[in-house]
Structure 1
Amino acid sequence: MSEQEEFPDCLLRYWTLGEIVSAVAASGLVIEELVEEPRSEGSRLLPGSITLVANKYKVERT
């Protein structure tokens, strides 16, 4: 039995960076920092890492 046969079928969804940032902003979070790291040279198929820092601020209404 090959290694691939051991894993169940699954569906993959690839979100764009724009979709991710828009979803975070639409949820009411304030994006403070977005850092993109390059992908590893060893794997063309894997993306680099992305770190997104966001906060939800309490808005004082007068």
Structure 2
Amino acid sequence: MYVCQTLDEASNTCMEWVAYNDYSLLSELAITKAEMVTIGGQVGAILSIILAFVMVFKALKLM
């Protein structure tokens, strides 16, 4: 696929055509399955610590 890089506005014609490169910033943000498992494990550990603190504080408050 080609796109016009230089447009002559007077005659409304393309002076230079270039190949279109499909470049996306999201492709650089892709993570592997191993990274996903590592991140998920760390998030799960943090959430379980928060849950433990909440349960302890609720238990102390009820006594």
TM over 0.5: no
| TM score, norm. by length of structure 2 | 0.32
Work out which structure has the larger RCO, using CA pairs closer than 8 Å and 6 or more positions apart in sequence: 1
Q: Which has the higher helix share?
A: 2
Q: Which of the two has higher C-alpha Rg?
A: 2
